[in-house]
Structure 1
Amino acid sequence: MPDTPLTVTTHPHEAGLVLLHVAGDLDFHTAGSFRRAIEDLPESPGPGVVIDLSGVTYCDSTGLTMLVRAYHHTRSSGTPLVLTGPDDNLTRMLSIVGLDRLFTVFDTQEAAVAALTA
Structure 2
Amino acid sequence: MYLPGPTTPADDHPGYQVTRSVRSGTLTLHLGGEIEWRDMPALRTLLCQAGQAQDRFEVIDLTGLEFADSAFLHLLLDVQRHQRTHGIPMRLAGPLQPIVDRLFTLTGADAYFDFHPRHLPSRP
Equivalent in the alignment of 2:114: 104
Name the residue aligned to 2:84: 75
Question: CA separation of 1:42/1:60 partners in 2, compared to 1, >3 Å: closer, same or farther?
Answer: closer
Q: Which amino acid aligns with 1:101?
A: A
Partners of 1:94 and 1:87 lie apart in 2 by 11
Decide which of 21, 34, 39 is 1:30's aligned counterpart: 39
TM-aligned CA deviation for residue 79 of structure 1? 1.0
What is the root-mean-square deviation of aligned Cα atoms in Å?
2.2
Quote the offset at 1:51 in angstroms.
Answer: 0.5
One-letter amino acid of the structure 2 residue matched with residue 32 of structure 1: P
C-alpha displacement at 1:42, in angstroms?
4.5
SS at match of 1:21: strand
Structure 1: gaps (5+ residues): 109-118
- 2:4 aligns with none
Unaligned 5+ residue runs, structure 2? 1-10, 120-124
Letter in 1 for 2:46: A
Partner of 2:49: 40
Contact 2:91–2:113, Cα closer than 8 Å, also in 1 = yes
TM-superposed deviation, 1:40: 1.1
Equivalent in the alignment of 2:17: 7
Tell me the TM-score normalised to structure 1 length: 0.76
What aligned pairs does 1:59-98 form with structure 2 within 5 A after superposition?
A: 59-85=68-94, 86-98=96-108
Match of 2:65 among 45, 56, 59: 56
Larger radius of gyration: 2
- Deviation per residue, 1:11-53 (Å, 9 max, x gap): 3x2422210010111111222232122211244646x611011
Taking only the aligned residue pairs, the percentage that are identical comes to: 25
SS in 1 for 2:37: coil
User: What's the offset of the Cα at 1:55?
Assistant: 1.1
TM-score, normalised to structure 2, is 0.73
Secondary structure of 1:41's partner?
A: helix
Q: Which runs of 4+ in 1 moved over 6 A?
A: none
